[in-house]
């Protein structure tokens, strides 16, 4: 039986760094689907080329997802099997995916999300902070609502996990220190699964000092201890 039999839409996790961090099942699905929806066709194209997969690519990202959903639903209703991938990690986790899944479900279509790479899982486990209960906050708002979101977390007792970009890291760490205190334990993980992977653990104040003296590059996950 073909892997894609009976499924209309697959959400396929892709490597967050090391190209070998993709499952055999994910590769098989990408080979069998009719169309691959990619957040960035250039990024996905490199992955497909590496694994010698030749498949039609369609751009699907945050700026065109509302516009294209109805057309994609019709394609699936007509019998086409689609796979959705993001640039890295699992689609729908701080990346486009939710709207398409919701509309597909409401249209009676079958959706399957494959297990695979997600950046916050290795960052959380590697942080050394409690991981039996945690809250995933994703990216904080860039401007409006940012301060309020952080303030609302000051009484959170679970470990908190955030995504952040290099150019906002210092601002975020400083805001965390102001809200949670310089001594709150945290960990900054970057370049996960890549050659230069780095996990800097310690009180927020010490982490800020470290990055005041060291370059900041790569995708970042910040893990912060909950209120004691």
Helix intervals (H) in 160-227: 169-180, 204-213
From first to last of its 228 residues, the chain has per-residue pLDDT tens of 466 678 999 999 999 989 999 999 999 999 999 999 999 999 999 999 999 999 989 999 888 888 889 999 999 999 999 999 999 999 999 888 999 999 999 999 999 999 999 999 999 999 999 999 999 999 999 888 999 999 999 999 999 999 999 999 999 999 999 999 999 999 999 999 999 899 999 999 999 999 999 989 888 999 999 998
* CATH of span 120-224: 3.30.950.10
- In the three-class reduction of DSSP (H, G, I as helix; E, B as strand; rest coil), residue 106 is classed as helix
Strands 159-164 and 220-224, bridge-based pairing: antiparallel
Note whether 9 and 82 are within 8 A (CB). yes
d(CA 139, CA 141): 7
d(CA 153, CA 58): 39
pTM of the model: 0.90
Stretch(es) of the chain classified as CATH 3.30.950.10: 120-224
Note whether 49 and 97 are within 8 A (CB). no
3-state SS record for the chain: CCCCCCCCEEECCECCCCCCCCCHHHHHHHHHCCEEEECCHHHHHHHHHHCCCCCEEEECCCCCHHHHHHHHHHHHHCCCCEEEECCCECCCCCCCCHHHHHHHHHCCCCEEECCCCCCHHHHHHHCCCCCCCEEEEEECCCCCCHHHHHHCCCCCCCEEEEEECHHHHHHHHHHHHHHHCCCCEEEEEECCCCCCCEEEEEEHHHHHHHHHHCCCCCCEEEEECCCC
Domain 9-113 has CATH 3.40.50.150: no
Q: Could you tell me the two tokens for 211?
A: 């990055």
Stretch(es) of the chain classified as CATH 3.40.1010.10: 9-113
């Amino acid at each position: 039986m073909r892997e894609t039999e009976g499924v209309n839409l697959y959400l396929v996790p892709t490597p967050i760094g090391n190209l070998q961090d993709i499952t055999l099942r994910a590769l098989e699905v990408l080979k069998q689907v009719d169309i691959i929806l990619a957040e960035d066709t250039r990024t996905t194209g490199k992955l497909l080329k590496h694994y010698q997969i030749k498949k039609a690519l369609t751009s699907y990202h945050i700026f065109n997802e509302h516009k294209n959903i109805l057309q994609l639903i019709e394609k699936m209703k007509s019998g086409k099997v689609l796979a959705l991938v993001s640039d890295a990690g699992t689609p729908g986790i701080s990346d486009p995916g939710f709207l398409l899944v919701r509309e597909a479900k409401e249209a009676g279509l079958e959706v399957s999300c494959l297990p695979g790479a997600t950046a916050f899982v290795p960052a959380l486990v590697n942080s050394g902070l409690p991981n039996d209960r945690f809250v995933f906050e994703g990216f904080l708002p860039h401007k409006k609502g940012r301060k309020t979101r952080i303030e609302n977390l000051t009484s959170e007792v679970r470990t908190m996990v955030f995504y952040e970009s290099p150019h906002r890291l210092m601002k975020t760490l400083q805001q965390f220190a102001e809200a949670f205190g310089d001594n709150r334990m945290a960990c900054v993980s970057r370049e996960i699964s890549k050659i230069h992977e780095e996990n800097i653990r310690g009180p927020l104040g010490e982490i800020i000092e470290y990055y005041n003296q060291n370059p900041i590059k790569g995708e970042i996950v910040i893990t912060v201890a909950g209120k004691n």
